[in-house]
């Protein structure tokens, strides 16, 4: 009888390094998933070629009930990640992938803080970002085929116009017939509602690949088809979610590379932190802290949050992070009080403006 399988233990990462997952090939999707972890330096220059993919997905339930295996050890992962790995695994060749849940030691808050700081850079240096929407269900294959067909028609007709520095395909003369419900259900998937994946990961990407089950579609084609079909117009609750995702994926292709790197901080330089918070506070995140930390790698402005002592710290309380966010965005002289049970915050400045904020809905009253 073979020995019991040991639990995997992480070794400390050297400064400036990341872990990459080497996913071993197998012809059977149901076979145990084998992997190795490699310690690699994170490239500094955007010109450096990085032969790894980065995975963008929804964590889902935090319960880790499945296992992946390295040497004689096992590592517990969520059902969602295990399913994604089974579809990403090639039949013949190994794949090199960066996946936050495995490549960062989730039990070490100090390492999490250090690795979250360069998160935008990790996605920016990847050869492509793979968006995993989940397994085939609810007509997702038909929805993706229709989206791709419309995108191909637009490409064939060369009907791309530019508006505000962003390529936007115009509507066809006649709206194509499609199973609007299938497309709607596809766009309802949790990936489009998550602040971390939709914002930082695709905004940083050099190239985006959308994957749902066994089907794959180029990110630009996906956005072109969605923009032309506009199936979400009949569903107002989806409009802001999908438009922002389309904007960011398109932006990954057409936005000039306005990266800034100073005082050990890398940013995509999209918008000031306060504006990003205002735009995306309604997005979901597994942890409240990530509603803020997801935006640091995209923030612009003269003031460096890291120099101001505002960096990812998973040992900090939500109360402390919220206070630092307000003072960084508004003024160090602001007085911030919090009531954790109700998730309400009161902010008072020198000009006697009081704000009552509910973070989940960002209802603001002035008095």
DSSP string, 104-128: S-TT-HHHHHHHHTTHHHHHHHSSE
**50, two tokens:** 């990085």
Kindly report which listed range (99-113, 130-144, 316-330, 336-350) carries the lowest average pLDDT score. Answer: 336-350
Average predicted confidence (pLDDT) for the chain: 74
Pairing of strands 215-218, 208-212: antiparallel
> What are the tokens at 299?
């923030």
Q: Is the pLDDT of residue 12 over 90?
A: yes
Name which of 252, 241, 301, 251 is nearest 275 in CA terms. Answer: 301
Place of tokens 């085929």: 145
Sign of the Cα pseudo-torsion (239, 244, 245, 251, in order): positive
Encoded tokens for 188: 């309802």
What was the pLDDT predicted at 166?
44
**If residue 142 lies in a helix (H) or strand (E), which one and from where to where?**
helix 140-157
CA distance 367 to 353: 6
Most confident of 104-118, 154-168, 284-298, 300-314: 104-118
d(CA 139, CA 89) in angstroms, rounded, equals 23
For residues 197 and 294, is the Cβ–Cβ distance under 8 A? no
> pLDDT-derived band of residue 111, with 50, 70 and 90 as boundaries?
very high
Phi, psi of 226 (to 5 degrees): -65, -45
Minimum mean pLDDT among 57-66, 74-83, 85-94: which range? Answer: 57-66
> If you ran DSSP here, which 8-state letter would residue 165 be given?
T
C-beta separation of 35 from 68 below 8 A: yes
CB burial readout 240-260, b (16+ within 10 A) else e: ebbebbbbbbbbbbebeeeee
Instruction: List CB contacts of 1: < 8 A, sequence separation 6 or more.
Output: none
Mean pLDDT, residues 192-205 taken together: 67
pTM for the structure as a whole? 0.70
pLDDT band, residue 356 (cuts 50/70/90): very low
Contacts of 91 (CB under 8 A, 6+ apart): 25, 26, 27
Torsion sign across C-alpha atoms 254, 260, 264, 265: negative
Q: Is the pLDDT of residue 10 over 80?
A: yes
Given a contact cutoff of 8 angstroms between Cβ atoms, the answer to whether 226 and 178 are in contact is no
Q: Rounded to whole angstroms, how far apart are CA atoms 38 and 97?
A: 10
Inter-axis angle of helices 318-329 and 288-296, to 10 degrees? 40
Q: How far apart are CA 324 and CA 129, in angstroms?
A: 31
């Amino acid at each position: 009888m073979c020995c019991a399988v040991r639990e995997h233990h992480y070794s400390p990462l050297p400064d400036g390094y990341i872990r990459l997952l080497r996913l071993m090939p197998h012809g059977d999707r149901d076979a145990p998933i084998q992997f190795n972890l490699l310690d690699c330096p994170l490239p500094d220059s955007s010109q450096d070629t990085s032969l790894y993919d980065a995975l963008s997905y929804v964590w889902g339930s935090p319960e880790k009930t499945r296992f992946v295996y390295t040497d004689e050890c096992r590592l517990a992962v969520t059902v969602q990640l295990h399913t994604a790995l089974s579809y990403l695994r090639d039949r013949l060749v190994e794949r090199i992938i960066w996946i936050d849940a495995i490549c960062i030691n989730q039990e070490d808050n100090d390492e999490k803080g250090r690795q979250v700081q360069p998160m935008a850079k990790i996605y920016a240096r990847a050869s492509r970002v793979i968006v995993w929407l989940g397994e085939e269900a609810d007509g997702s294959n038909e929805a993706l085929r229709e989206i791709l067909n419309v995108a191909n028609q637009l490409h064939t007709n060369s009907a791309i116009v530019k508006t505000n520095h962003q390529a936007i395909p115009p509507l066809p003369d006649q709206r194509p017939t499609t199973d609007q419900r299938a497309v709607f259900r596809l766009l309802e998937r949790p990936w489009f509602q998550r602040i971390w994946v939709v914002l930082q990961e695709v905004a940083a990407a050099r190239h985006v690949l959308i994957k749902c089950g066994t089907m794959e579609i180029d990110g630009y084609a996906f956005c072109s088809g969605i923009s032309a079909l506009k199936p979400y117009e009949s569903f107002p609750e989806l409009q802001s979610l999908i438009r922002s995702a389309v904007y960011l994926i398109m932006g990954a292709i057409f936005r000039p590379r306005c990266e800034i790197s100073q005082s050990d901080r890398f940013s995509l330089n999209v918008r000031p932190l306060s504006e990003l918070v205002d735009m995306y506070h309604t997005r979901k995140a597994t942890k409240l802290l990530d509603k803020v930390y997801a935006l640091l790698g995209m923030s612009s402005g003269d003031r460096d949050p890291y120099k101001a002592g505002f960096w990812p710290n998973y040992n900090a309380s939500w109360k402390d992070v919220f206070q630092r966010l307000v003072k960084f965005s508004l003024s160090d002289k602001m007085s911030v009080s919090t009531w954790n049970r109700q998730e309400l915050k009161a902010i008072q400045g020198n000009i006697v403006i009081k704000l009552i904020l509910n973070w989940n809905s960002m209802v603001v009253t002035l008095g």
